[in-house]
Structure 1
Amino acid sequence: MPTQTQPQHEGGPTAVPRPEYPRPQFTRPEWLCLNGPWEFEIDRGDSGLERGLAGAGLSGAITVPFCPESELSGVGDTDFMEAVWYRRTVRIPAAWTGRRVLLHFQAVDHDATVWVNGVEVARHRGGFTPFTADLAGVAGPGEEAAVVVRARDSRHGPQARGKQATWYANSGCHYTRTTGIWQTVWMEPVPDAHLRRPRITPDLANGAFHLCLPLSRTGEGLRVRAVLEDGDGEVSAAEARADLDTAPRLTLPVPEERRRAWSPEDPHLYTLRLELLDAQGRTVDRAGSYAGLRSVSIRGKAILINGRRVFQRLVLDQGYYPDGLMTAPDDAALVRDIELARRAGFNGARLHQKVFEERFLYHADRLGYLVWGEFADWGCAAGGGPADDNQRPDASYPAQWSEAVERDYSHPSVIGWCPLNETFQRLHDRFTALDDVTRAMFLATKAIDPSRPVLDASGYSHRVPETDVYDSHSYEQDPEAFREQMRGLAEDAPHVNRGEDGRDWSVPYRGQPYFCSEFGGIRWDPGAAGGEHSWGYGDDPRTPEEFYTRFEGLTGVLLEDPDMFGYCYTQLTDVFQERNGVYRFDRSEKLDTARIAAAQRRTAAYEKGGLPPR
C-alpha cells in the first residue's frame, strides 16, 4: 500500500484534525495538511466582498475541515448562511524550493472562490468534488501564503445538495445543511512537468492493468515509467514516451502465477510506483498508487464480478455523523461503518446522496466492500412542484458528476454508478430538462468509464432506454404483499415505480439486470413516545421478534428470486429523526446484529444459478 506521511504542522500531528493523507490512490511523499484553526466569519447577506472581507481579518474562528453547522467545527450554527469566509496564513516549507505549489480543497459546499495573497487563484462550483489552485507566481517555497476562501451556499435556487434541508429544521429525509469547507485542505510541491492522477483499468481476462498517466505538460525526452508490485516484489514494469502525448498509456501484464483477483473474499491490492523521467533517465516526479485486478460484466439478467455471480447484499449508507454531519469525525469512523455493515451481513453499500470522501473508498478497496457511486440530487422533478426550487437539474449536474466519476474511476470497490436518485418526470407529452440531464449524465458516465454498469436513475423514472441496470424502490412492509409485487421479474414484467397519477414514467424494461435498490426501512425506535419525533416506513413492530420476522420475510423475498442480482436495505444507521437504521445514529447497537446477519447470509437463489449464455 502507499506510504502515507504525517502532515507537517505546528504542534505536531496530534494537533491536526483528520491528519491522514486525503488522496490515498495518488500519493506523494511531501505534503502539508492545512486542517485545524482558521479565521472564520458568517456572511448571511453575501455582502462580504463589497465589505472588504477578502482583504481583512475575520471576526471568528473555525476548525477545518468541519462545516460551521457541525459541533466539531466549534461554531455549531445551524441557521441559514448565504456565504461564509475563511482565512489562514501559511508559511510554505522552504524545503520545497525549486518546485511549484498546489493548494488542494477536497470538497467545499457549494460555490467557492479562493484568493492567495490578494490574487484570485481558483473558482469551483459543486459541493462534493475536489479542486486545485496552482500558486505559481503568487506564493512559493519559503514564502507566506494568505489563503482566503469564500463559499456561497444559498438555499434559494437550485443546486445539487443531496439530503440537505432548504428549510430551517430537520424533517423527514432532510438533514442539517453543510456549508463551506467540509473535507481536508492541503498543499503539495510538484515540479513544473509533473504527473497527474492516473486512470487505472484492470483487465482480468487478459491478466493486465492498463494505465493512462496524464501529465501537466510534455517535454523533450520525457518518459513515464510504472512498476507493479505485490508482496513478493516486482511483478512487471513498463515505460512510454511522454514528449508528444500529455496522457501516455502503459500496459502492465500480470503473469498467471502472480495473478490474484480482487474480490470481497480476497481484496488483494497491487502496489504501483509511478515516475516521470527526463531525457537522461533521472526522476523528475514520482507518486504511489495501488490497483485491484477485478472485472464487472453483464450477462443477461446477471451482473458478474470476476465472471461469477455475487449476490449484492447492499445497505443504504447516508454518510452522516452526529458531531461532524457529512464529515466523519476521524478516519476510524469510516472504517467502523464498513465493519458495522459487514457485521450485519451486508457485503456493500449504495453510497447514498453524497459523494463520499476518498478515504472511505480506500478502506472499501482494502476491505473488499462493494459500493455503488452516486450523485447528490434527490428530489429532482420536471414539470412544476416544490422540488423544482430545491434541486432543479441543469448543466451543472453532468459537469459535477463527471468530476466525481473521474475522481473515483480507479477504485476497485466501485462496481457500479448511479447518477440520479428518485427522479420525477411529470410531463408525458414532451421532453423536459430532466430528460436531457438524465441522458447527459448517463452518456458522460459511459464515456468516462465503459468498464462498469450504469443505472440511469435509482427508482421511479428510468428514461434512458439503453440503461445497463433496471430497478425499483418499494417500502411495502408485508412480506407476502412484497412477494406479489416482485414476482413479475421472471416474466420480464418487474415491479416499476409509478407516479402519483398511477402512470408509468419509465421506458420499458428490456431484460436488464434488476434489483430492488431500496426496501425495508423498518422503524425501530422503542424509546420514542408515540413516534412524533422519529419515523420509518410502515407500522412499528411491537416487539423485537416482530422486527426480525419482518426483516427476514422481506429479505427472503429477494434472496429467493433467482433473477434478482441484489438488493439495498434502508438503512445502515438512523439519521437524526429518521429511525430506520440497523444501528443508532451514534453507531451503537439497537438490535441483535447476529439475527440481522443470519437472515442475509444464506445462499441466494441467484448465486445457485449457472452462468447465462453469452
Structure 2
Amino acid sequence: MPSRRTVLKAGVLAAALPSLTVPRAFASTTPSLPPHGEREPAGTRIERIAGTGVLFQYGEVVPSFDGWAHQEPTRAYRSLNGNWAFRFDPDDTGLSGGWHLPGADVSGWDRIAVPSSWDLKDDPDWGSYDGTGFGSGTAFQDGYAWYRTELRVPGAWVGKQIRLMFLAVNYRADVWVNGRFIGSHEGGHTPFALSVGNALQPGSGAVIAVRVHRRADFTDYQTGTGPLSDPLAVPWKPVDYWPYAGITRSAWLEAVPQVTIAKVLVSAQDGRFETRVVVANHGPRRFSGEVVVKPGHGTSRGVVPVSLAAGEVAVVAASLEIPGAPQWRTDRPRLLRATVEVRSRDRVVVDQLSTTYGVRSVQVDRSLLKVNGEPQFLKGFNWHEESAAHGRSMTIAEYDHELGHALDTGANLLRNCVYNRHPYVYDWADRHGVFVMDDIDNMWMNTDQERVQTERYGLSRALAATMAWNQHNRPSVILWCLQNESEIDANGGPVYRAWLQDMKDAIKALDIQNRPVTWASATSWDPAFDIADVVGFNEYFGYFYGKNEDLGPTIDAVHQNHPDKPIIITENGSWSYLGKHGPDTEQGNEEWHAANFRSHWQQVTDRPDYVAGYLFWVLKDYKQRLGYNEELNGISTMGLLGFDSTTRRLVYDDFAAAALPEGR
C-alpha cells in the first residue's frame, strides 16, 4: 500500500487497504503529555472596542509579526536566529535540574540551529524512498527538549516595551527569561508574542530558555503500540503529515514605544480604504495625540485625534477615498503599502506601523464565488510545507522553487492544508497573484475533542482567531478553512455544529473584510453545510470507494441540497509509484494516477455555475509517521511531484494542461 488517507463519505467509513507489517526500530522514550490548564495557555479572547473585534493573548493585543522581515524606524529589533544550546530531556528532569536558570551549566549541551526541525538533526537520508532506516534517529525523539541562548540587551532599549516573538514552535513551548517564567504557547504553526516585562534589563546580559514538547505518536515505535493521543491538543492524535519538532521558524526580540500601534486592519475596495488602528498605552500616564493614516495611494491621508488612559487600548477608525487605486488581481497583483503613525500633541512621531494590502473584494453571490465582482473558478492544490534538507524550516529559495509550481501549472489557488504557513508564503502569494485558502490544525478531530474545545479548552477557537488576525490584510487570502475530515456526531451533529459555529463566529468578529468561511468535510452530506459560506468536501471516488464517474452526480446532489452556496472540492487525488508505467487501468501506474485526475477535472469543470473550484491532493509527496509506507521511508506517494519537489509524474503535465471553464 503506497499511500492511504482515511475518508468518510455519505456517513460510511471508506474501506481501508491492507496495511503493511514493517518492523519499527525506535521506541519513544517519553510518551508523557505536557501539562494542561483549564484553558489553552495564551488566554485568547476577542474584545469589542469601538465596534471592532480586537484579539488578545497573554493579556495583550496580539501584535503584527512583520518584524521577521520588515523593521519600523520607531522600533528596535534583535534577531535570535542562529545556534542555540540544545539538549533532549527524555526523563523530564530539566526543570527540576534548573536548566532554565541563568547559571545552568550547558558546557556539555549540543548545538542546534534556530530555526530548524530537530527531526533532521540525526537523519541524513530524510528525502530517500529507502525505508531501511525508518524508525531511527531524532525524527522519532519525542517528549521534551531544551533550547538556550544568551545575548546582551542594548542600553538604548530603556523605557521600551520588550516582547519575545516566535513565528512557530512545535508543539508546545514554555519560555523563561533570566530564570523568570514568562509564558507557554500551544499550537505548532501559529506565531506568538510574550511580553518580557522587567525580566530583561537594558544594558545587561540575558538568558532565554525554551522547553519544547512534542507528543509521541506511539508509546512504542518498535512494536507499533498505541497510538498515543492528547485529549486537549490540536491535532489530538497522529495524523498523516510529519509533526516536525522544535523552534521551526524565526524568533526575535522587539522593543516598541510605551504608546504603540499593535495592529492595523485594512479593507480596501471600490475606491475606498477602510482601516481600524489598534493603539495601546503601556505608559504610566494618559496619552493625547493623533493617529495619521497614509493609505499609500495618491495624496489623501487621515488624521484622527486619540486619547488613551494608562493601560488602555483604543481603536481608531478611518475611511478614506483612494480613487484610481489599482485593483489586486491574479493577472495584475498590485500591492499598496499603508503607513500609520501615532504622534504626540506637538506632532512628534511616537510609533509607526505599516502594512501591505490590495484593493480587492471577495463575496458569495448565490452559487458563485466572486473576486472583484467577477465569478471565479479555482484551480489549485494542497501542499505540505517541508523539504528534505530543512524539514518545516524551509529556506526562501526552497519556497520560491516549490511555490513556483503554481505558476508553472496555471494554478490560481493554494490550500494551506492543514496549518498556517510561514509569513513568506503569504508574501509570495500576494506578490504573484495566487489565491490562498488558509487553514488550521483541526484535522481528524472526534466528537469528544470538538466538545472539549468548544465548551472548555478553546484551542480550536484560538487557532481560528489568530489565523484571521495574522493574515487579515493579505489580498491573496480569500477563504478561511476551519477543519479537515473531522467526526460528525449523531442526530444532526449538534456538537460538531457548535464547534464549527464557535470558530466561524470568532473569525467573523475579527475580519472586517468578511471573507467566506469553509471547511474540508469528510462527507458530501455534511449536516452543518448550512453554516458554511462555501461548501467544501474531500472526495476520493475511484480510489477509496465507488467509481470516478460517481463524482458528477454527487456534486449535483450537493447543489440540490444547497443551491445558494458555491461548492469547492477541497481534496481529490490518488497515487502512483514514481516512475512506474503501464496501462491506465492498473492501480499504482502513473498513467492510472493521471487518468483519475482527468476524470475528476472534467466533472467539476462541467459545472461552473455552482462548482467554484478543485484542489488536487497533493503538490508533492510528503512525509508522515502514522504507520504506513514505512518501506518508502514514510513517504506518501500522492504528489504531482516526488518528495524532491522537482521530479514530475505524468499527472503533473495533465494538471498543467487542465483548462479553466470558459469565461472563468
The answer as to 2:619 corresponding to 1:572 is yes
- Structure-to-structure mapping, 1:93-108, within 5 angstroms: 93-108=154-169
CA contact (8 A) 2:437 2:481 kept: yes
1:247, distance to aligned residue in structure 2 (A): 3.2
Of 138, 156, 159, 1:77 maps to: 138
Deviations along 1:173-205, one digit per CA (max 9) or x if unpaired, are: 623332231111101221111111211122x13
| Distance verdict in 2 for CA 1:483–1:391, change over 3 Å | farther
The aligned counterpart of 1:403 is 466
> Distance between the aligned counterparts of 1:68 and 1:57, measured in 2?
22
So what's the TM-score if we normalise by structure 1? 0.81
> Distance between the aligned counterparts of 1:524 and 1:221, measured in 2?
66
The aligned counterpart of 2:170 is 109
> Distance between the aligned counterparts of 1:429 and 1:491, measured in 2?
18
CA contact (8 A) 1:318 1:354 kept: no
> Distance between the aligned counterparts of 2:439 and 2:404, measured in 1?
21
Secondary structure of 2:138's partner? Answer: coil
The answer as to 2:110 corresponding to 1:60 is yes
The answer as to 2:306 corresponding to 1:242 is yes
The aligned counterpart of 1:43 is 89
Deviations along 1:526-573, one digit per CA (max 9) or x if unpaired, are: 369x9xxxxxx99535455x5544433321221221221111111111
CA contact (8 A) 2:363 2:369 kept: yes
Of 201, 223, 231, 2:290 maps to: 223
CA contact (8 A) 1:238 1:250 kept: no
CA contact (8 A) 2:377 2:661 kept: yes
> Distance between the aligned counterparts of 1:538 and 1:95, measured in 2?
70
The aligned counterpart of 1:89 is 150
Deviations along 1:402-427, one digit per CA (max 9) or x if unpaired, are: 12221111111110111111011243
Where do 5+ consecutive residues of structure 2 fail to align?
1-65, 125-135, 217-228, 624-634
- Structure-to-structure mapping, 1:415-434, within 5 angstroms: 415-428=478-491, 431-432=494-495, 434=496
CA contact (8 A) 2:271 2:322 kept: no
| Distance verdict in 2 for CA 1:594–1:41, change over 3 Å | closer
CA contact (8 A) 1:439 1:463 kept: no
Of 146, 154, 164, 2:215 maps to: 154
> Distance between the aligned counterparts of 2:486 and 2:413, measured in 1?
24
The aligned counterpart of 2:427 is 362
The aligned counterpart of 1:16 is none
| Distance verdict in 2 for CA 1:41–1:334, change over 3 Å | same
> Distance between the aligned counterparts of 1:482 and 1:316, measured in 2?
20
CA contact (8 A) 1:344 1:593 kept: no
CA contact (8 A) 2:78 2:253 kept: yes
CA contact (8 A) 2:409 2:657 kept: no
| Distance verdict in 2 for CA 1:287–1:388, change over 3 Å | closer
1:484, distance to aligned residue in structure 2 (A): 3.8
Aligned residue type for 2:181 = E
- Structure-to-structure mapping, 1:310-325, within 5 angstroms: 310-325=376-391
1:317, distance to aligned residue in structure 2 (A): 1.2
1:252, distance to aligned residue in structure 2 (A): 4.9
> Distance between the aligned counterparts of 1:28 and 1:343, measured in 2?
41
Aligned residue-pair number: 550
> Distance between the aligned counterparts of 2:161 and 2:167, measured in 1?
19
> Distance between the aligned counterparts of 1:422 and 1:69, measured in 2?
27
> Distance between the aligned counterparts of 2:642 and 2:536, measured in 1?
28
> Distance between the aligned counterparts of 2:611 and 2:493, measured in 1?
33
The aligned counterpart of 1:559 is 605
The aligned counterpart of 1:446 is 508
CA contact (8 A) 2:551 2:600 kept: no
Of 519, 539, 546, 1:474 maps to: 539
Of 333, 337, 345, 2:410 maps to: 345
CA contact (8 A) 1:477 1:520 kept: no
1:349, distance to aligned residue in structure 2 (A): 1.1
CA contact (8 A) 1:27 1:289 kept: no
The answer as to 2:316 corresponding to 1:263 is no
Using CA pairs under 8 Å that are at least 6 residues apart, name the structure with larger relative contact order, 1 or 2.
Answer: 2
Aligned residue type for 1:359 = Y
1:73, distance to aligned residue in structure 2 (A): 10
| Distance verdict in 2 for CA 1:550–1:491, change over 3 Å | closer
1:284, distance to aligned residue in structure 2 (A): 0.8
- Structure-to-structure mapping, 1:176-191, within 5 angstroms: 176-191=242-257
Aligned residue type for 1:421 = N
The aligned counterpart of 1:611 is none
1:480, distance to aligned residue in structure 2 (A): 11
The aligned counterpart of 1:514 is 567
The aligned counterpart of 1:604 is 661
Of 165, 180, 188, 1:119 maps to: 180
1:38, distance to aligned residue in structure 2 (A): 0.6
| Distance verdict in 2 for CA 1:187–1:28, change over 3 Å | farther
The aligned counterpart of 2:201 is 140
Aligned residue type for 1:446 = K
Aligned residue type for 2:340 = L
1:310, distance to aligned residue in structure 2 (A): 1.9
The aligned counterpart of 2:578 is 525
Percent of residue pairs bearing the same amino acid type: 21
> Distance between the aligned counterparts of 1:118 and 1:549, measured in 2?
60
CA contact (8 A) 2:178 2:207 kept: yes
| Distance verdict in 2 for CA 1:114–1:482, change over 3 Å | same
Deviations along 1:65-122, one digit per CA (max 9) or x if unpaired, are: 1121124999961224221111111112334344232211111122222111111222
Of 234, 240, 253, 2:320 maps to: 253
| Distance verdict in 2 for CA 1:340–1:429, change over 3 Å | closer
The answer as to 2:369 corresponding to 1:295 is no
CA contact (8 A) 1:482 1:557 kept: no
CA contact (8 A) 2:577 2:637 kept: yes
CA contact (8 A) 2:169 2:248 kept: yes
Aligned residue type for 1:352 = C
The answer as to 2:393 corresponding to 1:327 is yes
Aligned residue type for 2:306 = A
| Distance verdict in 2 for CA 1:117–1:475, change over 3 Å | same
Deviations along 1:292-350, one digit per CA (max 9) or x if unpaired, are: 1100001110010000012110201121222322221x112222222112212211111
Deviation larger for 405-414 or 104-113 = 104-113
Secondary structure of 1:249's partner? Answer: strand
So what's the TM-score if we normalise by structure 2? 0.75
The aligned counterpart of 1:533 is none
> Distance between the aligned counterparts of 2:644 and 2:73, measured in 1?
32
| Distance verdict in 2 for CA 1:297–1:521, change over 3 Å | same
Aligned residue type for 1:63 = A
The aligned counterpart of 1:595 is 653
Aligned residue type for 1:243 = S
> Distance between the aligned counterparts of 1:336 and 1:246, measured in 2?
42
Of 568, 584, 587, 1:540 maps to: 587
| Distance verdict in 2 for CA 1:392–1:191, change over 3 Å | closer
> Distance between the aligned counterparts of 1:429 and 1:559, measured in 2?
31
| Distance verdict in 2 for CA 1:403–1:542, change over 3 Å | closer
The aligned counterpart of 1:612 is none
CA contact (8 A) 1:438 1:456 kept: no
